[in-house]
Structure 1
Amino acid sequence: MKWKTVPAAGIAGFARQWQDLHRTAAASPLLAFDFVLPLLEQFGSGKELLAICEHDGAVVAMAIVTPSRRGSWATFQPAQAPLGLWLQQPQLELAALLASLMRALPSLPLVFGLTQMDPALAPRPHQTAQLSTFDYIDTARVTLAGSFDDYWQARGKNLRSNLKKQRARLDKEGVALSLRVSRDPADMAQAVADYARLESSGWKESSGTAVHADDAQGRYYRSMLEALCRRGAGRVYRYYFNDQLVAMDLCIEDADIIVVLKTAYDESVPKQFSPTLLMREEATRALFEEGRLRRIEFYGRVMEWHLRWTEEVRTMYHVNYYRWPGLRRLHEWSTHVSE
């Protein structure tokens, strides 16, 4: 196996190789080329490299990597990317790939970090003298098996009763509930503008993390959703109380999975109502009835509401690969001392 690196700004010239590897590796939609390209365009610093590994004339691994701390490199990991930007043929040994990559990177780094890995896609490797793993976050999924009624009956009584009471009260007050789904690329600019309006009216605005239609985040989500919708792999959920937009999900899909990337709701809605959960109940029912997809992935840190929605929780992880075994021992000792 041999790696080569080129400036990641030229990744468009390697679109076919990335797409072919993504397909043969049965990778997540979060690693699809049209998800990754806008990440580089909007959040790249220009220091990123595209690393390409070939074996017997075939591309067997690809990654977007960037210098991190002094003497270290890592996978490029903007906040908008739930997974580390790493693709490989699943039968290959990760440690061997990382050892080979270390020799191909500029300045011969001492440590390489492979970030935000999903054990459902890439089983957590055994630790070795040069490779260590550590927990990132717990994340949740819903498996779309059987009927929605069976799934819903398995949810907690409090959740089912609470949402039923909310619907009854809204109906009594003359509030019509409606879920609308957008999949047209021409609708994505307005969808992101609507999403930004919801998010910027709440706590995320004061924390400085809200999406705005004209900032890098807004441009990213618009470009990415337009690209995925052009091949039928993007969708936006909007939920209304009468004509008032009260909640939204931005989602992407591929093969048998749908990923909920972003959720926002109108914080002016009275606290006795949960527009996001009402929206998600209807959206989940529709996915069960559609019968095409097999999993809903959330990929954010597990929250209390996730645990009411599913029991399926797993721990994502990071990998550190060290040039020499002694560096791993030194790093772990220094980390322990600083705690």
Structure 2
Amino acid sequence: MNWHTVPAAHFSEHAAHAESWRRLHAGCGAPVLLSYEFVAPLVERMGAGGELLAWCERAGEVVAMALVAPAGRASWSTFQPPQAPLGLWLQRPDLQLAPLLAGLLRALPGFPLVFALTQMDPALAPRPDHGASLDTLDYIDTARVTLAGPFDAYWQARGKNLRANLKKQRARLARDGIAPRLEISRAPQDMARAVEDYGRLEQAGWKAGEGTAVHPSNAQGRYYRAMLELLAARGCASVFRYYFGDRLVAMDLCVEDADSIVVLKTSYDEGAADGLSPALLMREEASRFLFDGARLARIEFYGRVMDWHLRWTDEVRTMYHVNYYRWPGLRRLRALLASRPLSASAPVPSSAKTS
């Protein structure tokens, strides 16, 4: 097996690379978060310029592909912008991970000593055993909701406090003469407006003060518009808007594949939240819609588990990183130093440190 690398800009500029990624993505049953339509805009909008596209061939067939980036002194990792919930790595499922990583490490420039494969989902790729040159680290706990059976049975299994609280909020809205409603957009031509609306919600909230809010004219906004338009053209994107009367109070930006919907981004109108929970009210109605539709098998959140997730589901799993070292002695040295609480640990790519 032989690895090759080119600048990541080739990913969308050369049709052969795009087709290879699409073919491998389809062949290994990877989720929408690793589709070409999700990944290509990340490279174009969120890359720093030093990223590489890497691919591995066996007997003329592409069997693994990744987008990778420098990650500090003598180390590389999968390209991992905040907008990507998963490490940008594809491989045929019948191949062993360690030999692939060993070959990639040798093919990367600068004689790196370690490669970090970041943000892996054990539901998609079982966590590998530690080996002579390979170890793994916990990343975050994340949650999902399985869309099985009727919504009412699922809802009755939620905590009494959650159900009572949202019921009380709906009663208050009714007393005030406010009719809540859920609106769902899936058409490509609706995605630009969706990002504009979402940006207005975030720009009016706490994220604006931190400089992390989506705006149609910033890199995040341009990424989400491009990605959602591409996936909507395949029927794989959806935007949930929630209104109190005519006032937009909450939104979800979502992507879909054959059996799951991933909630990428959620925002709400903080000015409408006086004793109310617009995002949770939207989540209840959106969940009912998804249960009743019986089209998808699960809702994925792919973020760090929060208290509200645990009120919504008890399905939690731990995502992980993989570190692969050029020589087994490096892994042993890192493990030794890490076991000494007062000593500095060996350098590990920042993207592969436990969060």
User: After TM superposition, is the score higher than 0.5?
Assistant: yes
1-side partners of 2:304 and 2:298: how far apart? 17
Q: State which of 224, 227, 233 in structure 2 corresponds to 1:224.
A: 227
Look up the equivalent residue of 1:257 and give its one-letter code: S
1-side partners of 2:223 and 2:9: how far apart? 16
2-side partners of 1:8 and 1:298: how far apart? 28
What residue in structure 1 maps to residue 202 of structure 2? 199
Q: State which of 133, 136, 144 in structure 1 corresponds to 2:136.
A: 133
Give the superposition deviation at 1:79: 0.6
Within 5 Å, which residues of 2 pair with 1:68-79?
68-79=71-82
SS of aligned partner of 1:16:
helix
Does the C-alpha gap of structure 1 residues 261 and 310 become closer, same or farther in structure 2, counting only changes over 3 Å?
Answer: same
SS of aligned partner of 1:338:
coil
What residue in structure 2 maps to residue 285 of structure 1? 288
2-side partners of 1:28 and 1:176: how far apart? 36
User: Are residue 271 (structure 1) and residue 270 (structure 2) matched?
Assistant: no
Gaps of 5+ in 2: 346-355
2-side partners of 1:17 and 1:307: how far apart? 39
Look up the equivalent residue of 1:2 and give its one-letter code: N
User: Are residue 19 (structure 1) and residue 25 (structure 2) matched?
Assistant: no
2-side partners of 1:102 and 1:121: how far apart? 23
Q: State which of 164, 174, 180 in structure 2 corresponds to 1:177.
A: 180
What residue in structure 2 maps to residue 97 of structure 1? 100
2-side partners of 1:240 and 1:3: how far apart? 51
User: Are residue 338 (structure 1) and residue 344 (structure 2) matched?
Assistant: yes
Give the superposition deviation at 1:333: 3.5
SS of aligned partner of 2:202:
helix
Deviations 1:293-316 (A, max 9, x none): 001000010000000000000000
2-side partners of 1:329 and 1:58: how far apart? 35
What residue in structure 2 maps to residue 117 of structure 1? 120
2-side partners of 1:224 and 1:244: how far apart? 26
What residue in structure 1 maps to residue 2 of structure 2? 2
2-side partners of 1:145 and 1:176: how far apart? 29
Look up the equivalent residue of 2:210 and give its one-letter code: S
Look up the equivalent residue of 2:243 and give its one-letter code: Y
In the alignment of these two chains, the number of paired residues is: 339
Identical counterparts, % of pairs: 67
Look up the equivalent residue of 2:235 and give its one-letter code: G
Look up the equivalent residue of 1:8 and give its one-letter code: A
2-side partners of 1:247 and 1:25: how far apart? 35
2-side partners of 1:244 and 1:233: how far apart? 27
Give the superposition deviation at 1:185: 1.0
1-side partners of 2:209 and 2:344: how far apart? 32
SS of aligned partner of 1:108:
coil
Q: State which of 243, 268, 273 in structure 1 corresponds to 2:246.
A: 243
2-side partners of 1:308 and 1:56: how far apart? 50
2-side partners of 1:189 and 1:320: how far apart? 39
What residue in structure 2 maps to residue 66 of structure 1? 69
1-side partners of 2:43 and 2:160: how far apart? 45
1-side partners of 2:174 and 2:129: how far apart? 55
Deviations 1:226-263 (A, max 9, x none): 11001110010000000000000000001101000000
Within 5 Å, which residues of 2 pair with 1:36-55?
36-55=39-58
Give the superposition deviation at 1:329: 2.1
Q: Structure 1 length as normaliser, TM-score?
A: 0.98
What residue in structure 1 maps to residue 256 of structure 2? 253
Give the superposition deviation at 1:5: 0.9
Give the superposition deviation at 1:271: 3.0
2-side partners of 1:19 and 1:146: how far apart? 33
SS of aligned partner of 1:54:
strand
SS of aligned partner of 1:268:
helix
1-side partners of 2:170 and 2:119: how far apart? 38
Structure 1 segments, 4+ long, off by >4 Å, are none
What residue in structure 1 maps to residue 217 of structure 2? 214
Look up the equivalent residue of 1:36 and give its one-letter code: V
User: Are residue 262 (structure 1) and residue 265 (structure 2) matched?
Assistant: yes
2-side partners of 1:265 and 1:127: how far apart? 42
Give the superposition deviation at 1:113: 0.5
Look up the equivalent residue of 2:11 and give its one-letter code: I
SS of aligned partner of 1:70:
coil
2-side partners of 1:132 and 1:235: how far apart? 37
2-side partners of 1:334 and 1:196: how far apart? 45
Give the superposition deviation at 1:106: 1.2
2-side partners of 1:51 and 1:270: how far apart? 47
Q: Structure 2 length as normaliser, TM-score?
A: 0.94
Gaps of 5+ in 1: none
2-side partners of 1:60 and 1:293: how far apart? 29
